[in-house]
């Protein structure tokens, strides 16, 4: 009865935006630890908000796009080209999250970080794939959110360590 009611959907969105900290979805059991990087934290919050109400492939794709942009922002926060040499010797562009994160992790973890670098690469790939997947699902969008949140938390930890 209420599923396709536009007024109910608007009310639900308004309530969620104001009171999302009280959400009961299993995704919100463990509260996301803010990084202090305002844009990153805002983006992850936006991914969570959109995920709650997304129902169509295009909406799930948009979550992937936000995730991809968030990973770029994280990489830009920590990557220093004078200190973090890329593994393949190719200069990282300002939007090459994969190359920047790989170089950062390689340097910060003293060359022992292959599994961690693979995780970062996989997170970037997941966001890219979801963005272009015309059959994107809520399950994939949720995994993208979890992955981006994990990378944000891990990189912030290493940045402060």
pLDDT in tens, 57-109: 999 999 999 999 999 999 999 999 999 999 999 999 999 999 999 899 989 88
Report d(CA 133, CA 69) in Å as an integer.
Answer: 16
Residues 16/52, Cβ–Cβ less than 8 Å: yes
Residue 49 has pLDDT above 50, yes or no: yes
What are the tokens at 121?
């690469």
Would you say residue 63 lies in a domain? yes
Q: Where do we find the tokens 């794709």?
A: 61
116 has pLDDT over 70? yes
Q: Residue 65: enclosing H or E segment and its boundaries?
A: helix 57-78
Residue pair 113/136 in contact by the 8 Å Cβ criterion: no
Boundaries of domain holding 42 = 6-160
Is residue 124 a part of any domain in this protein? yes
Would the pLDDT of 113 be above 80? no
**pLDDT higher at 14 or 33:** 33
pTM of structure: 0.77
Total structural domains within the chain: 1
Q: What is the mean pLDDT of residues 10-39?
A: 64
């Amino acid at each position: 009865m209420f599923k396709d009611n536009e007024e109910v959907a608007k009310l639900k969105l308004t309530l969620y935006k104001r009171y999302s900290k009280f959400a009961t979805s299993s995704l919100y059991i463990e509260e996301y630890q803010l990084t202090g990087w305002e844009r990153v934290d805002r983006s992850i919050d936006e991914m969570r908000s959109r995920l709650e109400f997304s129902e169509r492939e295009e909406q799930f794709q948009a979550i992937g796009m936000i995730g991809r942009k968030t990973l770029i922002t994280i990489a830009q926060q920590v990557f220093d080209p004078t200190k973090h040499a890329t593994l393949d010797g190719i200069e990282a562009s300002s939007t090459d999250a994969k190359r920047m994160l790989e170089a950062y992790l390689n340097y910060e973890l003293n060359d022992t970080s292959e599994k961690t670098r693979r995780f970062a690469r996989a997170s970037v790939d997941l966001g890219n794939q979801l963005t272009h997947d015309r059959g994107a699902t809520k399950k994939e969008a949720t995994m993208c959110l979890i992955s981006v949140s994990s990378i944000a938390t891990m990189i912030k930890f290493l940045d402060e360590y």
